[in-house]
């Protein structure tokens, strides 16, 4: 097991001020071209910029180390907070590796955060950061010229990996495994993250548009929200493409009635519930999933809600529920081992928790899906995956990844 690695860069500033401000327009319009941070849904949420402090951490105790670092950082702050609502005061953005033990997770305390919740807006500043809002910067030029290339596995090789996974499932080795692909994009001129975030937010308003340390996307899946002692999660598993007219209705009905997709969804819900039960005095999940309809696909969705007992912090809870069957498989150790064997790539922070938390312990973490990692050459690495269960067909699973890639490609190409 690798030894823990922790690199932190705390700032000298120890004063944090939050004031109400309802003058901000679209939050995503405020995100800068470099090192912007975002967690926005339906025009509300948080955006930030600058780095008052930063932590990079890996190893067996990565999330516990991060929680202790955040507690120590916030304990020494002089905070003036006019609102005292979830997301006001000091805020930590985080992008956690899919495997926090082996890969690096990144946590950033912005110098400036602009937030909006239930129509109420605010600005939080650390130290001497300016309290006034910047003017939204216009985007230069049009869409870049793009070239795509296969990532770790070409489509035929990836389909062979799906076949191998189904054979292992049929042999009784495991019930489900999530296999992902990556797609490489080069761009001229370099990709502008502001353009990508604005287009993602406009096309997928019901998703959480996120950006942390070069990983950005629009995730439909909320891993865990904590507000006081109230916990909630949105589990997604089972996907179908969209169609036109009557065909769209037919595809929706087929997804809702699909034995294969319902079984995959049940595994994902059960894995989350089992992980959360020890931390909750009450936990409820509907018996039947609903349909979540997005611009390009539909998902089976279940909203799980509970009341926390005990003293576990948000990062401990996140570590307890991740990875769910929705991004790894069932049983988790067997699925994780098969991913390492068949997937052929390092996921990094793809499919890991991404989101924010405040000094009160409130926060929201989704799963980094429908996303891309910006690369130093101005391009990006895109990711898409799907759940493999008994009866999965490689061609259909490949088509599902292509539909998920399209969510980000639309933002790239527009």
Bridge partners of residue 232, in order along the sequence: 225, 305
Q: Whole-structure pTM over 0.85, yes or no?
A: yes
**Choice among 111, 176, 364, 373 that is catalytic:** 176
pLDDT at 7 over 70: no
The confidence score (pLDDT) of residue 131 equals 63
pLDDT at 336 over 80: yes
- Please give the Cα distance from 31 to 137 (Å, whole number): 9
The residue-averaged pLDDT of 114-129 equals 90
Neighbouring residues of 84: CB distance < 8 A, sequence distance ≥ 6? none
Residue 387's alpha-carbon distances to 66, 121, 179, 187, 213, in angstroms, are 30, 39, 7, 30, 27
The confidence score (pLDDT) of residue 136 equals 67
The residue-averaged pLDDT of 203-214 equals 95
Average pLDDT for the chain: 91
* Residue 274 phi, psi (nearest 5): -60, -40
**Choice among 51, 111, 188, 221 that is catalytic:** 221
The residue-averaged pLDDT of 325-347 equals 94
The confidence score (pLDDT) of residue 406 equals 87
Place of tokens 């931390």: 279
Which is nearest to 104 in space by CA: 112, 93, 96? 96
The confidence score (pLDDT) of residue 144 equals 87
Question: pLDDT category, 198, cuts 50, 70, 90?
Answer: very high
Whether omega for the bond prior to residue 376 falls within 30 degrees of 0, making it cis, is: no
% the chain with pLDDT above 70: 94
Rounded to the nearest 10 degrees, how much is the dihedral formed by the CA atoms of 14, 19, 21, 27? 30
- Please give the Cα distance from 169 to 389 (Å, whole number): 7
The confidence score (pLDDT) of residue 6 equals 62
pLDDT at 10 over 60: no
Question: pLDDT category, 2, cuts 50, 70, 90?
Answer: very low
Mean pLDDT check: name the lowest of 1-15, 33-47, 256-270, 323-337: 1-15
The residue-averaged pLDDT of 50-60 equals 95
**What domains can you pick out in the chain, each with its CATH number?**
5-130+145-413 (3.60.120.10)
The confidence score (pLDDT) of residue 297 equals 84
Active site residue 404: no
Active site residue 221: yes
pLDDT at 322 over 70: yes
Whether omega for the bond prior to residue 205 falls within 30 degrees of 0, making it cis, is: no
- Please give the Cα distance from 195 to 11 (Å, whole number): 30
Question: pLDDT category, 3, cuts 50, 70, 90?
Answer: very low
Instruction: Yes or no: say if 199 and 410 are a contact pair by the CB < 8 Å rule.
Output: yes
pLDDT at 22 over 50: yes
The residue-averaged pLDDT of 22-39 equals 89
pLDDT at 244 over 70: yes
Span 61-110, pLDDT tens digits: 999 999 999 999 999 899 999 898 999 999 999 999 999 999 999 999 99
């Amino acid at each position: 097991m690798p030894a823990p690695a922790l690199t932190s860069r705390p700032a000298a500033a120890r004063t944090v001020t939050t004031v109400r401000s309802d003058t901000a327009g679209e939050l995503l319009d405020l995100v800068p071209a470099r090192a912007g941070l975002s967690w926005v849904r339906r025009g509300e949420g948080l955006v930030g910029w600058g780095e008052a402090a930063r932590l990079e951490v890996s190893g067996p105790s990565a999330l516990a180390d991060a929680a202790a670092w955040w507690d120590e950082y916030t304990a020494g702050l002089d905070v003036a907070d006019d609102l005292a609502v979830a997301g006001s005061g000091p805020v930590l953005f985080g992008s956690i590796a899919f495997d926090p033990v082996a890969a690096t997770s990144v946590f950033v305390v912005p110098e400036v955060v602009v937030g909006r919740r239930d129509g109420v807006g605010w600005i939080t500043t650390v130290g001497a950061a300016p309290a006034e809002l910047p003017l939204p910067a216009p985007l230069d030029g049009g869409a870049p010229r793009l070239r795509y290339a296969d990532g770790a596995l070409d489509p035929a090789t990836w389909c062979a990996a799906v076949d191998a996974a189904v054979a292992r499932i049929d042999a009784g080795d495991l019930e489900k495994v999530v296999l992902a692909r990556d797609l490489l994009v080069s761009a001229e001129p370099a990709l502008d993250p502001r353009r990508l975030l604005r287009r993602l937010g406009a096309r997928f308003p019901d998703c959480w548009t996120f950006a942390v340390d070069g990983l950005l996307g629009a995730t439909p899946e909320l891993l865990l929200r904590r507000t006081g002692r109230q916990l909630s999660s949105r589990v997604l598993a089972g996907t179908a493409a969209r169609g036109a007219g009557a065909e769209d209705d037919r595809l929706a009905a087929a997804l809702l009635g699909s034995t294969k997709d319902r079984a995959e969804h049940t595994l994902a819900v059960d894995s989350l519930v089992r992980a959360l039960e020890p931390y909750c005095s009450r936990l409820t999940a509907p018996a039947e999933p609903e349909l979540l309809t997005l611009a390009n696909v539909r998902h089976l969705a279940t909203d799980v809600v509970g009341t926390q007992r005990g003293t576990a912090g948000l990062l401990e809870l996140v570590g307890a529920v991740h990875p769910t069957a929705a991004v790894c498989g069932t049983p988790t150790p067997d699925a994780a081992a098969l991913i390492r064997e068949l997937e052929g790539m390092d996921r990094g922070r793809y499919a890991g928790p991404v989101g924010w938390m405040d000094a009160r312990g409130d926060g929201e973490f989704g799963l980094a899906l429908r996303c891309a990692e910006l690369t130093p050459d101005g391009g990006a690495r895109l990711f898409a995956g799907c759940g493999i269960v008994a009866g999965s067909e490689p061609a259909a699973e490949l088509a599902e990844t292509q539909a998920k890639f399209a969510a980000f490609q639309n933002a790239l190409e527009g």
